[in-house]
Structure 1
Amino acid sequence: MSATPAPDPAARDNLPINSATIPPNALADSTPENPPRESEPSDTVSNLRKSQQKFQRMMCSTPIRSDSSHSRRTTEEQKDALEDELGPIPKLSADFLKSMYKDIKSDTVIKRFLTRSKLYSFKTKRWLDIPETIEKEKELYEPFVKIISKILAGPGRRTTKGTTKREVVDTHNIRFDHHDDLENPTRPDISIMAVGPSFQKPPLKEGKERAKIGYCNVASVFDVKRDADNSDREQARQLAGYNRQIYISQPNRKFACSAIMTETQVRAVHFDHSGAYMTEFVDIHKDPYTFVRLVLGLSSHNEEDVGPAASVVLMHR
């Protein structure tokens, strides 16, 4: 695999800086580590910029080799290293999450889908397959996979000619090897497997069958948590590890956006070459439209929506 044209290291600073363009009023009342206040916009911007600069240094200097500074570390040690590099990750408001993919499908289209699919009750304002109470997060894997699968087959289906494909896969028990550390794989709970110009099958390992899915052919990943396990810091640490591997495995990535889902809520966690941010949670039962739009955005057949740069074409061999 090679990328054409080869990215110019000097041009990295000219890549779109998505998190740098966040309006100050989109920032939530607190960040995981350093809560800014509405009356302190300068501190808020400073924290955001610091996070961006640290993330940019980390990503631009990350070698795709086995001697990476993150190699030969346990998963927790890698999380610690990423956390040290990123520093406090700003938290954006729920309104910002609602605006992220607001134009991807209209309320009318989504309401028609919800009604016909019988996944959601407008009377009780609940997703019918999501249990009201759970003891373990694994109870949510199957219902979320079912919902996402129907979204992909409904409003998320490809509407133009082409060969792109999107498929939701329960990956909580599937090993995703790290390009720079084969001894410490991770397992995102749910993944969107992608076929298209920017995605390639996992590399073939000597003496083993080729894996069906890995970081090189996912559009995005979703992690499932319980409401009771609502830790901003741990969620940011975990998603940072996933998104770092997506960057390493997909050289033409401009950004990676993932989601955290619980039995009642969803939030987005975004990383790009300049920084990172996470949003506040949105109630998936009271606002099914935002949840559907987030799934559509993270599984879009338009690769620019999910992160790869269309101007950089991967040559598959």
Structure 2
Amino acid sequence: MDVLVKLRKINSVYQGVYSVVKLVLAASSTPEDVVALAFRRPKNQPSTAKAPPEHPPTRDRTEGVPAAANKNTRTKIAAPIPPQMHPTLAQARFEPSSDPEPDSDQGSSSMATEFGVEDIHITDEHWASSLYTTLAGPHAISKFLRKRTSGYRKPRGKGQWTQIPQSPADRIELIHPIMTVIERIVAEFSCGTIEDGVTRKVEFTDFSGGDAQATSGPGICVCIRATGPSFETVTPGDFEEIGYTNVASIIQGKTEAEIATEIDYKQATALVSELQQIFALQPNRTFFRTLIVTEKRVRLAHYDRSGVYLTPFINFHSNPSTLIRFVLGLTSHDEANLGLDTSVQWTIDPDMGRKVTGTLQAPNVRGEMVVYSLNVEKPPFVRPSIVGRGTTCWHATDPETGKGVVIKDTWRTTERTSESEFLVDARGIPGVVQMISHQDNCAATTDFRPINFKAEGYQNRIKSRVVLEECAEPIWNFTSRHQVISALRDAIAAHRKLVERGIIHRDISTQNVLLGHPGAPEGLRGILIDLDMAMRAESGMSLDEIDPQTGTRTYQSISVLLAKDSRNDPIPPHDCLDDLESFLYVLCHILLGFKRPGELIEPTPELISVWDDPDAQRAMTKKVVLMAEGYPAYEFPQLEEYWGNSCIELLEGMRTHISNVVYQKSKIRAAKVSTDERFDLWSAFVEKNLESSYDHIDALFRTALAEIASEDAKEAMHTHGDSQTSPRVDRKRPFEEEPQPTLPRKRTRRRA
């Protein structure tokens, strides 16, 4: 047997840790009880919070699969700071954070929760036999099967691939014969040459870390290693290595005895962690297909942004044409057949095997299709999950202006309004990312599915592409107090303008607020991005009820979290006050999560880490405590040491205001009135508090910024004076004495 090449297996099982909360909830507590109980402390009474109890044992969120269909696990979960791809795609190893890109419109980065049961569909045999029919005609297939070198015989009129053992003891005995059959098919029908730089080679791969008897995960598989425009080598100068950047497809070998003990869900999810890596490191991936081959039968598994399709098992001894076409499809030299978006083209350095240049076709400002040059020095941002929005952001250069742009690809459900419509309405608003052009229907997942196929839970997704003006750094890359507070102030002001134009953002998070360019004037110091979860609104309220599956879990408002509870009737619309509450959690995350610029608090404070719990009620509980009691100051010494009284007062002022909003909403939710009356109360409350809330919060930010500017000016004068009298003494702040640390990788979110 050939030497097995190891692929490091992704550790994507998300481990959640939560502590005993101060607010003890009875099992019978209603959502209204949760909020009401939190506000029983008399107004203005100081917090008397004590040190938290010890943490309970770590909880594994993978328990209960396939109960992973639980929709709570589909909401975006934000990592403490979003992860960031490495500079070189071929060298990168994509590690999903605790953010399962996770939605009904969000996906999951966890191996166990990437696919729910409802995401897996079984096709009929007719669709399987209709695939790849143009890659080999009946005559060519018959001619191949008649050759002695094919290994196919018809003893006593019954077809048989003679290399395949009829009763293999295990997959080890089966995998090598399968590889032999595949190699013979590829050798017969391959049309590529080494000279054109496009090759496909059949190789063993061990996903079990060397444990040949591993019973979990895919174990030993056959991989198709590829060279060509979309594929990079793993090790510079070594074309014999195989990895996530050059895998064209995967074939799993399993015995009939194994298959008899496995449900469809297990077969569909065995390769999830490997596929997440492939989708991330082959960023122009549209779909991926694998085969499961036994000693008798074969089935194809198709993965895209809408879920998984499995064909039935088909006997390849009596139906050899289907096996041949499957193999040809998964080894095709046409990258579109492999599931790659060919509007993205790369140039590979033949010596290093690296992508050195690239282009992407997209519309210009006049709607004409042009070729943008990709900036390979800035790797694309790729969401970690397969199912969902599949957001990919490319850094490129406008061929006409020479300016940098960001080209964003997303897969939206057919019911969701294209982000481009909101971006058109947002044109001219300072502090909102500006769109240059858009292409709303690049592809659809129905293009890859059986015609007229219908299945419960299936959602067609449409690929959209927007070209955006390039913004500056993510907000977590701030370098000073004034910079980050002014960025948040301008983002909130931009949000207000969106509301005035009838748009609710619904996904306020640290990921969706960027810093303005250096020296940007007021209004452009912070940029609000990512409107693909937005919704039309009137008087600050969306035109539909709250969707608890929309948004980033860490920053969801208490009303959004409560909407998951069936006892909330009616579920209120998502309103601008929910988004302002999300801005509060962003402020908390920055002030309570950073010691100073570039230095995170490790581990993430429990007050914040629990906010991303997939269970809505557990995620909500700590937020309720924050609203009722504030934060335990003794746990956050950096507030005094770095952030100072100006930021502390800003945080407390905003917390107090939002706390009152949450309390008033809880009273409306608990009021003994009819459904229509409750809705009227809700509408009146939002309309009454819309302008005053923005005014009050803006005043808090302006006061804090003025105080910070004054403090910084005084310190600068003090530092200048000291340098005049003692030129050898460096009086810089402690955080300026050392080089700024590298921040964690940018997060990848859950599916949209």
Taking structure 2 as the reference length, what is the TM-score of the superposition? 0.30
Name the structure 2 match of 1:30: none
How far 1:108 sits from its partner (Å)? Answer: 1.0
What are the ranges of 5 or more consecutive residues in structure 1 without an aligned counterpart?
1-32, 35-49, 72-76, 177-184
Determine whether 1:136 maps to 2:200.
no
How far 1:309 sits from its partner (Å)? Answer: 1.1
Task: Call closer, same or farther: CA 1:66–1:246 in 2, change over 3 Å.
Answer: closer
Name the structure 1 match of 2:380: none
Name the structure 1 match of 2:159: 125
1:64-143 matched pairs, under 5 angstroms: 64=85, 66=95, 68-69=97-98, 78-84=110-116, 87-116=118-147, 117-123=149-155, 124-143=158-177
Name the structure 2 match of 1:212: 241
Task: Call closer, same or farther: CA 1:118–1:104 in 2, change over 3 Å.
Answer: closer
Name the structure 1 match of 2:185: 151
Task: Tell me the number of residue pairs that the alignment of Structure 1 and Structure 2 aligns.
Answer: 249
1:235 to 250, 255, 267: 267
2:292 to 248, 253, 260: 260
Identity value in percent? 30
CA distance in 1, matches of 2:141, 2:271: 28
CA distance in 2, matches of 1:153, 1:210: 19
CA distance in 2, matches of 1:161, 1:170: 24
How far 1:258 sits from its partner (Å)? Answer: 0.7
Q: Report if the CA contact (8 A) 2:235-2:241 is conserved.
A: no
How far 1:276 sits from its partner (Å)? Answer: 2.0
Secondary structure at the counterpart of residue 166 of structure 1: strand
1:136-215 matched pairs, under 5 angstroms: 136-158=170-192, 162-172=196-206, 189-202=221-234, 212-215=241-244
CA distance in 1, matches of 2:99, 2:253: 25
Task: Call closer, same or farther: CA 1:120–1:201 in 2, change over 3 Å.
Answer: same
The C-alpha deviation readout for 1:146-167, integer Å capped at 9, x for no partner, is 1111111111332897220000
Secondary structure at the counterpart of residue 303 of structure 1: coil
The C-alpha deviation readout for 1:3-36, integer Å capped at 9, x for no partner, is xxxxxxxxxxxxxxxxxxxxxxxxxxxxxx89xx
Task: Call closer, same or farther: CA 1:98–1:259 in 2, change over 3 Å.
Answer: same
Name the structure 1 match of 2:253: 224
Name the structure 2 match of 1:273: 305
CA distance in 1, matches of 2:83, 2:146: 47
CA distance in 1, matches of 2:162, 2:233: 35
Aligned partner letter, 1:137? R
CA distance in 2, matches of 1:237, 1:290: 23
CA distance in 1, matches of 2:271, 2:124: 19
CA distance in 2, matches of 1:146, 1:279: 23
CA distance in 2, matches of 1:211, 1:158: 18
CA distance in 2, matches of 1:67, 1:144: 33
How far 1:235 sits from its partner (Å)? Answer: 0.8
How far 1:214 sits from its partner (Å)? Answer: 0.6
CA distance in 2, matches of 1:266, 1:92: 14
How far 1:229 sits from its partner (Å)? Answer: 1.6
CA distance in 1, matches of 2:235, 2:218: 16
Task: Call closer, same or farther: CA 1:80–1:173 in 2, change over 3 Å.
Answer: closer
Q: Report if the CA contact (8 A) 1:216-1:249 is conserved.
A: yes
How far 1:243 sits from its partner (Å)? Answer: 2.3
Name the structure 2 match of 1:22: none
CA distance in 2, matches of 1:69, 1:227: 36
CA distance in 1, matches of 2:300, 2:169: 24
Determine whether 1:310 maps to 2:342.
yes
The C-alpha deviation readout for 1:262-295, integer Å capped at 9, x for no partner, is 0101111111123321111110101000000000
How far 1:122 sits from its partner (Å)? Answer: 2.5
Task: Call closer, same or farther: CA 1:159–1:95 in 2, change over 3 Å.
Answer: farther
Q: Report if the CA contact (8 A) 1:113-1:155 is conserved.
A: no
Determine which structure has more spread, i.e. the larger CA radius of gyration: 2
How far 1:246 sits from its partner (Å)? Answer: 1.5
Greater mean deviation of Cα atoms: 249-258 or 225-234: 225-234
Q: Which has the higher contact order (CA 8 A, sep 6+)?
A: 1
Secondary structure at the counterpart of residue 90 of structure 1: strand
The C-alpha deviation readout for 1:56-101, integer Å capped at 9, x for no partner, is x89xx99755452379xxxxx94312234x6440111122111111
Task: Call closer, same or farther: CA 1:67–1:189 in 2, change over 3 Å.
Answer: closer
The C-alpha deviation readout for 1:133-188, integer Å capped at 9, x for no partner, is 11201111111111111111111332897220000001136869xxxxxxxx9755
2:314 to 258, 282, 293: 282
CA distance in 2, matches of 1:173, 1:110: 32
The C-alpha deviation readout for 1:230-263, integer Å capped at 9, x for no partner, is 2212111113333222111100111101110001
Q: Report if the CA contact (8 A) 2:163-2:177 is conserved.
A: yes
Q: Report if the CA contact (8 A) 1:110-1:155 is conserved.
A: no
Q: Report if the CA contact (8 A) 1:188-1:223 is conserved.
A: yes
CA distance in 2, matches of 1:305, 1:171: 22
CA distance in 2, matches of 1:306, 1:249: 15
CA distance in 2, matches of 1:210, 1:104: 27
Aligned partner letter, 2:179? V
CA distance in 2, matches of 1:302, 1:188: 27
Q: Report if the CA contact (8 A) 1:70-1:81 is conserved.
A: no
Taking structure 1 as the reference length, what is the TM-score of the superposition? 0.69
Task: Call closer, same or farther: CA 1:249–1:266 in 2, change over 3 Å.
Answer: same
Greater mean deviation of Cα atoms: 225-234 or 167-176: 167-176
Aligned partner letter, 1:256? F
* Superposition RMSD in Å: 3.5
